[in-house]
């Protein structure tokens, strides 16, 4: 019997469609003709590695040119699909109500291309006589549309209800998935705190560990969970318990990752290898070593044995390491591949956690133009992310409770109390890191580091560790705040230890900027050996930035940050390293860009005057005016400090009121009378203009302070002084007062040299400033200068500050209390030593520093020198550098005395390079 052409065409079409899906790696099972009620093929979805995804599609195949006879056209007349019609709604009802999603496939035997559409109720249109559906021309069976087909395959799965799942203990999670759930969604596996535990499994213990419920894992704890000892777990015959022990040693005791990594080869189960590799990689990234993490994940991925979710999990960790090492393109490609989990396992919370983390990685490694913020936010909004956020919320809740109890001076005992804030934040950072969620890890781990820094004042190791975490998570803003504060006040040793752990060759894309910022602000306390090593690295980058840019793709202005780091290091480096820096600077091409000129001027400013050779100076002088003015001015400073002839050329510019030239000139005492007189006139004119502006309610931000400069010139050249303009500026009322600070500070520094006649005129003006609270401007505010006025008044007329005025300062803010120290010390009364001793206990570091500064002056001026030295020794017993630096400022004018010599001996080996350098310069005087 002869077969019909239509039947032959249909069979051929099914064969072609079968082959096309098999080319995709999918399994295809034909339906026997006698059972065909609307399904021709069962399509079994597989991933690119041919792993079964447990998802099914039914396909109805229509082959032949006749099925393309009803085209649909767009507005331009182009075919955008073909209508399939059926006068019998029975088939559409079957397809749309089937438990398995169905697609309709139209196969064109002439072109051998197949087109498909997912049959859903919203796509089916009634024709009045039946129904129709449009098969788009854009939907073809090929690699380009496999993701869309996977989305259809997974679309029929019912959601899982996770509310209350914390009570279930993961009973519905299969053994092969329990390890992944224990690490990424531990709340689903860890026994609920209010449940009695009859038998603790290794996955349960691992989940409790990730949640940092350490009390529940202590066999000696009163709550019996059946947790075995760590010692017994290390030698257990069960692989899972050995993994738990190795993880506990690494997370709790800081034992490293070698034991976890070794377990990868001690099991044949792919899911166990994956869990151990993911845990190892996450901990290696925490340790700042993504290169080793990359090697571990690559080794396990190369075996290609993990299920689709496990494979995606390790792929994400690999992508994270690649991004940290600067290979953004490959990292994005891997993260994009992980997005298949949207369709493979949409109701697996661990899969969605991995997918969400990959979305964020795609976002953060893309250019601004390519970033899609709504998609990034949607992708990260997963159950696992929400559960992790709960850990942070609980931690902050305990933080608030602790702060309130401290504020209320609650002294009641809390049995079994522990740092719950730390534990919850650590749990959040672990969960994020294990999921490969780099942004979530950075946030949670950064919070944990800030928690440690704000609650620790004596544990140097803990503070250094917290600083290390801040730089590894790339929290540059916190580094810039924390490092100067710790260095100056809390623990210079902790800063030094943290900075010594930096190796810029190993910096990651995340840590690079924070590493540089830490070196910048820690430079004063690091050793010259470390400084030399970092300086060479910085110079190499400046000479050839492309190598680092290609390697790490930094997302900040590299040259600016590198130069900002190099500048303070020049105060610490050895002579040979300093020579390298100078040779680099003198060979610079012209810098006509102001930003670049500004950055380089910072470095020039830090080079000691005696470090420049004659050849260096000739080369700098030959640069002319090709550089932007900021760099030109700084080079002028260098030349003036080393070349008397060049210095003399500045006099004409100084006479015209060029303050940049005056700054380059150096010692104002060396000005000749004519230049001094002309400078005074020029400055007085500038101040007169400034006063006129203030009276009109205007205020200009000037690059330099004319009044402060004029005060110095007046004192150096009293025969040409013009105090009237200074007095006028100080007395002029204005909405703003910030313009007075430099003048008041200068009066404090040189108060003793102000002529008595001028001092008498200044007293009422300064008293008015001292007793006038700041005016609150509705938009810009105005600084409180009462403390500045008090110190200026105390320097000029020590007895003019009354006791009530002093008491008011003592009740003020930090700056006002520091001003009170100056007032008391400037009386030069040995009986005030007890008052200074009390002030030395102030909680504000600046106040303590001012006490030390004042005691140093008493010692050098031989005012109660011996008891002052004894008190200063106690004040100097400070873990920071601020107090010692305040002392050496006073020692510049020291006189030969036993107390002064003893004081310099005390500071000679100080941790601060600035202090040591100042003492070395004082050696001829000590």
Residue 468 confidence (pLDDT):
97
403-407, 436-440, 811-815: segment of lowest average pLDDT: 403-407
Q: What CA–CA distance (Å, rounded) separates 154 from 26? A: 14
Q: State the maximum Cα–Cα separation within the chain, in Å, rounded to a whole number.
A: 132
Residue 414 confidence (pLDDT):
54
> Residue 202: pLDDT band by 50, 70, 90 thresholds?
very high
Q: Taking 90 as the threshold, does the pLDDT of residue 725 lie above it?
A: yes
> Residue 257: pLDDT band by 50, 70, 90 thresholds?
very high
Residues whose CB is less than 8 angstroms from the CB of residue 206 and which lie 6 or more positions away in sequence, other chains included = 179, 182, 183, 186, 189, 240, 243, 244, 247
Hey, which of 27-36, 96-105, 445-454 has the most confident mean pLDDT?
Answer: 445-454
Q: Taking 60 as the threshold, does the pLDDT of residue 610 lie above it?
A: yes
Residue 36 confidence (pLDDT):
55
User: Taking residues 365-379, what's their average pLDDT?
Assistant: 52
Residue 195 confidence (pLDDT):
66
> Residue 227: pLDDT band by 50, 70, 90 thresholds?
confident
Hey, which of 243-247, 379-383, 921-925 has the most confident mean pLDDT?
Answer: 243-247
Q: What CA–CA distance (Å, rounded) separates 646 from 637? A: 10
Residue 487 confidence (pLDDT):
96
Residue 412 confidence (pLDDT):
65
Condensed to tens digits (0 to 9), the pLDDT of residues 758-781 reads: 999 999 999 999 888 877 655 555
Residue 164 confidence (pLDDT):
52
3-state secondary structure of 81: strand
User: Taking residues 494-518, what's their average pLDDT?
Assistant: 97
Check: CB of residue 354 under 8 Å from CB of residue 312.
yes
Q: Taking 80 as the threshold, does the pLDDT of residue 483 lie above it?
A: yes
Residue 527 confidence (pLDDT):
96
**Average pLDDT, whole number, for the chain?**
87
Residue 921 confidence (pLDDT):
78
What is the full DSSP assignment across 5-33? HHHHHHHHHHHHHHHHHHHTT-EEEEPPG
> Residue 667: pLDDT band by 50, 70, 90 thresholds?
confident
Residue 664 confidence (pLDDT):
81
283-287, 337-341, 620-624: segment of lowest average pLDDT: 337-341
Q: CB-side exposure of 489: number of CA atoms within 13 Å?
A: 17
Residue 417 confidence (pLDDT):
53
Q: CB-side exposure of 833: number of CA atoms within 13 Å?
A: 18
- pTM (two decimals): 0.81
**Token couple for 388:** 């992790």
User: Taking residues 302-307, what's their average pLDDT?
Assistant: 88
Check: CB of residue 474 under 8 Å from CB of residue 513.
yes
Q: How far is CA 806 from the centre of its chain?
A: 43
**Token couple for 265:** 């080869």
Give the number of other Cβ atoms within 10 Å of residue 183's Cβ: 26
Give the number of other Cβ atoms within 10 Å of residue 826's Cβ: 23
Residue 893 confidence (pLDDT):
58
Residue 510 confidence (pLDDT):
96
User: Taking residues 655-674, what's their average pLDDT?
Assistant: 85
> Residue 519: pLDDT band by 50, 70, 90 thresholds?
very high
**Distance set, CA 605 to CA 613, 626, 639, 804 (Å):** 16, 19, 12, 44
Q: Taking 60 as the threshold, does the pLDDT of residue 35 lie above it?
A: no
Q: Taking 70 as the threshold, does the pLDDT of residue 375 lie above it?
A: no
Q: Phi and psi (nearest 5°) for 317?
A: -60, -40
Condensed to tens digits (0 to 9), the pLDDT of residues 76-129 reads: 899 999 999 987 778 888 888 787 889 999 999 989 999 999 999 889 988 877
**Token couple for 77:** 């007349």
Give the number of other Cβ atoms within 10 Å of residue 595's Cβ: 13
Residue 371 confidence (pLDDT):
46
Q: Taking 90 as the threshold, does the pLDDT of residue 37 lie above it?
A: no
Residue 618 confidence (pLDDT):
93
Residue 80 confidence (pLDDT):
94
Residue in 67, 80, 79, 55 with CA at minimum distance from that of residue 17: 67
User: Taking residues 420-442, what's their average pLDDT?
Assistant: 95
Q: Taking 50 as the threshold, does the pLDDT of residue 158 lie above it?
A: no
Residue in 64, 49, 429, 479 with CA at minimum distance from that of residue 251: 429
740-749, 888-897, 902-911: segment of lowest average pLDDT: 888-897
Rounded to a whole number of angstroms, the distance between the first and last alpha carbons of the chain is 122
Check: CB of residue 916 under 8 Å from CB of residue 910.
yes
Secondary structure E strands in 684-777? none
> Residue 619: pLDDT band by 50, 70, 90 thresholds?
very high
245-254, 437-446, 801-810: segment of lowest average pLDDT: 801-810
Q: Are strands 52-63 and 102-108 parallel, antiparallel or unpaired?
A: parallel
Q: What CA–CA distance (Å, rounded) separates 508 from 325? A: 6
Q: Taking 70 as the threshold, does the pLDDT of residue 55 lie above it?
A: yes
Condensed to tens digits (0 to 9), the pLDDT of residues 795-847 reads: 898 888 888 988 988 998 888 899 899 999 999 999 999 999 999 999 999 99
Q: Taking 80 as the threshold, does the pLDDT of residue 541 lie above it?
A: yes
User: Taking residues 316-338, what's their average pLDDT?
Assistant: 93
Check: CB of residue 572 under 8 Å from CB of residue 526.
yes
Residue 1 confidence (pLDDT):
29
> Per this entry, what is the length of the chain?
926
Q: What CA–CA distance (Å, rounded) separates 15 from 369? A: 45
Residue 377 confidence (pLDDT):
46
Residue 230 confidence (pLDDT):
94
Hey, which of 95-99, 282-286, 376-380 has the most confident mean pLDDT?
Answer: 282-286
User: Taking residues 473-499, what's their average pLDDT?
Assistant: 96
> Residue 404: pLDDT band by 50, 70, 90 thresholds?
confident
Q: What CA–CA distance (Å, rounded) separates 888 from 292? A: 47
Reported for 37-44, long-range contacts at CB under 8 A and 24+ positions apart, including other chains, are 37/94, 38/91, 38/94, 38/95, 38/102, 39/98, 39/102, 40/14, 41/14, 41/17, 42/100, 43/153
Give the number of other Cβ atoms within 10 Å of residue 697's Cβ: 9
**Token couple for 457:** 């004042």
Q: Taking 60 as the threshold, does the pLDDT of residue 555 lie above it?
A: yes
Q: Taking 70 as the threshold, does the pLDDT of residue 150 lie above it?
A: yes
What is the full DSSP assignment across 456-514? -SS-HHHHHHHHHHHHHTT-HHHHHHHHHHIIIII-HHHHHHHHHT--GGG--TTTHHH
28-32, 159-163, 593-597, 692-696: segment of lowest average pLDDT: 159-163
User: Taking residues 459-474, what's their average pLDDT?
Assistant: 96
Residue in 734, 803, 795 with CA at minimum distance from that of residue 762: 795
**Token couple for 113:** 């291309």
Give the number of other Cβ atoms within 10 Å of residue 435's Cβ: 30
Residues whose CB is less than 8 angstroms from the CB of residue 711 and which lie 6 or more positions away in sequence, other chains included = 726, 743, 746, 747, 750
Condensed to tens digits (0 to 9), the pLDDT of residues 746-763 reads: 999 898 899 999 999 999
Which has more confidence, 318 or 640? 318
Q: Taking 80 as the threshold, does the pLDDT of residue 244 lie above it?
A: yes
Residue 384 confidence (pLDDT):
78
- What angle in degrees, to the nearest 10, is found between the helix axes of 438-455 and 308-324? 60
Give the number of other Cβ atoms within 10 Å of residue 337's Cβ: 17
- Could you tell me what percent of the chain has a pLDDT over 90? 56
Q: What CA–CA distance (Å, rounded) separates 431 from 395? A: 14
Q: Taking 70 as the threshold, does the pLDDT of residue 449 lie above it?
A: yes
Condensed to tens digits (0 to 9), the pLDDT of residues 126-139 reads: 887 788 999 999 99
User: Taking residues 708-720, what's their average pLDDT?
Assistant: 93
Q: Taking 70 as the threshold, does the pLDDT of residue 297 lie above it?
A: yes
Give the number of other Cβ atoms within 10 Å of residue 756's Cβ: 9
What is the full DSSP assignment across 844-891? SHHHHHHHHHHHHHHHHTTSSHHHHHHHHHHHT--SSSHHHHHHHHHH
Condensed to tens digits (0 to 9), the pLDDT of residues 206-220 reads: 999 999 999 888 887
> Residue 655: pLDDT band by 50, 70, 90 thresholds?
confident
Secondary structure E strands in 549-667? none
């Amino acid at each position: 019997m002869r077969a019909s052409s239509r039947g032959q065409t249909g069979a051929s079409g099914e064969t072609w469609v079968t082959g096309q899906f098999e080319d995709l790696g999918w399994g295809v099972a034909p339906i026997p003709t006698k059972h065909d009620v609307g399904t021709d093929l069962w399509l079994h979805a597989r991933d690119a590695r041919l792993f079964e995804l447990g998802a099914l599609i039914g396909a109805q195949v229509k082959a032949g040119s006749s099925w393309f006879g009803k085209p649909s056209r767009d507005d331009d007349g182009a075919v955008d699909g073909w209508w399939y019609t059926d006068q019998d709604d029975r088939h559409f009802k079957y397809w749309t109500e089937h438990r398995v999603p169905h697609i309709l496939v139209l196969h064109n035997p002439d072109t051998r291309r197949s087109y498909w559409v997912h049959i859903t109720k919203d796509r089916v249109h009634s024709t009045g006589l039946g129904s129709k559906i449009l098969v788009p021309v854009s939907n073809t069976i090929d690699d380009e549309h496999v993701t869309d087909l996977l989305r259809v395959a997974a679309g029929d799965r019912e959601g899982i209800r996770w509310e209350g799942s914390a009570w279930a203990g993961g009973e519905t999670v299969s053994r092969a998935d329990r390890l992944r759930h224990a690490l990424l969604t531990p709340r689903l596996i860890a026994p609920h705190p209010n449940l009695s535990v009859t038998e603790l499994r290794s996955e349960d213990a691992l989940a409790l560990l990730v949640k940092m419920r350490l009390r529940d894992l202590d066999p000696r704890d009163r709550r019996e969970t059946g947790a075995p000892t760590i010692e017994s777990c290390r030698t257990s015959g069960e692989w899972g318990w050995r993994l738990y022990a190795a993880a506990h040693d690494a997370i709790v005791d800081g034992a490293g990752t070698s034991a976890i990594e070794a377990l990868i080869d001690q099991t044949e189960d792919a899911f166990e290898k994956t869990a151990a590799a993911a845990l190892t990689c996450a901990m290696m990234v925490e340790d700042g070593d993504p290169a080793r993490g990359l090697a571990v994940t690559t080794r396990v991925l190369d075996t290609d044995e993990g299920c689709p979710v496990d494979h995606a999990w390790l792929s994400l960790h690999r992508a994270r390491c690649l991004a940290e090492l600067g290979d953004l393109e490959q990292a994005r490609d891997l993260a994009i591949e992980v997005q298949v989990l949207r369709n493979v396992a949409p109701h697996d919370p661990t899969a969605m956690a991995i997918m969400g983390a990959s979305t964020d990685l795609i976002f953060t490694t893309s250019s601004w133009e390519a970033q899609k913020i709504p998609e990034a936010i949607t992708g990260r909004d997963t159950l696992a992310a929400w559960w992790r956020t709960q850990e942070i919320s609980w931690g902050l809740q305990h933080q608030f409770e602790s702060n309130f109890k401290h504020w209320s001076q609650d002294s009641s005992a809390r049995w079994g109390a522990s740092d719950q804030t730390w534990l919850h934040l650590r749990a959040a950072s672990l969960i994020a890191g294990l999921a490969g969620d780099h942004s979530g890890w950075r946030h949670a781990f950064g919070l944990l580091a800030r928690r440690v820094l704000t609650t620790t004042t004596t544990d140097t190791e803990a503070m250094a560790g917290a600083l290390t975490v801040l730089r590894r998570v790339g929290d540059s803003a916190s580094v810039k705040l924390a490092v100067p504060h710790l260095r100056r006040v809390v623990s210079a040793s902790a800063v030094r230890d943290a900075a010594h752990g930096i190796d810029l060759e190993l910096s990651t894309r995340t840590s690079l900027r924070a590493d540089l910022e830490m070196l910048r602000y820690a430079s004063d306390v690091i050793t010259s050996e470390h400084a030399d090593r970092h300086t060479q690295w910085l110079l190499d980058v400046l000479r050839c930035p492309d190598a680092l840019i290609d390697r790490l793709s930094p997302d900040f202005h590299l040259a600016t940050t590198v130069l900002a780091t190099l500048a303070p290091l020049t105060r610490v480096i050895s002579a040979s390293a300093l020579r390298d820096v100078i040779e680099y600077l003198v060979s610079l091409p012209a810098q006509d860009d102001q930003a670049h000129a500004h950055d380089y001027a910072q470095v020039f400013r830090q080079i000691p005057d005696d470090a420049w050779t004659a050849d260096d100076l000739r080369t700098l002088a030959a640069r002319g005016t090709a550089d932007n003015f900021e760099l030109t001015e700084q080079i002028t400073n260098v030349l003036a400090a080393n070349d008397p002839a060049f210095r003399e050329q500045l006099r004409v510019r100084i006479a015209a009121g060029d303050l940049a030239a005056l700054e380059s000139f150096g010692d104002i005492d060396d000005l000749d009378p004519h230049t001094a007189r002309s400078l005074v006139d020029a400055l007085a004119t500038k101040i007169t203009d400034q006063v006129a502006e203030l009276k009109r309610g205007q205020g200009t931000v000037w690059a330099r302070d004319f009044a402060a400069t004029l005060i110095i010139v007046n004192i150096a050249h009293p025969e040409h002084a013009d105090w009237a303009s200074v007095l006028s500026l100080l007395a002029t009322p204005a909405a703003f007062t910030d313009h007075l600070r430099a003048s008041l500070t200068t009066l404090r520094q040189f108060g003793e040299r102000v002529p008595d006649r001028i001092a008498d005129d200044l007293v009422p003006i300064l008293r008015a400033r001292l007793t006038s609270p700041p005016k609150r401007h509705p938009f810009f505010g105005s600084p409180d200068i009462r403390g500045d006025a008090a110190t200026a008044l105390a320097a000029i007329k020590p007895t003019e500050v009354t006791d009530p005025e002093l008491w008011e300062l003592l009740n003020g803010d930090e700056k006002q209390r520091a001003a009170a120290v100056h007032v008391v010390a400037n009386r030069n009364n040995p009986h005030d030593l007890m008052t200074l001793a009390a002030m030395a206990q102030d909680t504000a570091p600046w106040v303590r520093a001012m006490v030390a500064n004042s005691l140093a002056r008493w010692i050098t001026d031989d005012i109660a020198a011996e008891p002052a030295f004894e008190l200063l020794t106690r004040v100097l017993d400070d873990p920071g550098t601020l107090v010692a630096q305040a002392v050496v400022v006073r020692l510049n004018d020291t006189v030969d005395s036993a107390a002064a010599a003893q004081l310099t001996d005390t500071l000679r080996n100080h941790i601060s390079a600035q202090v040591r350098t100042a003492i070395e310069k004082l050696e001829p005087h000590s």
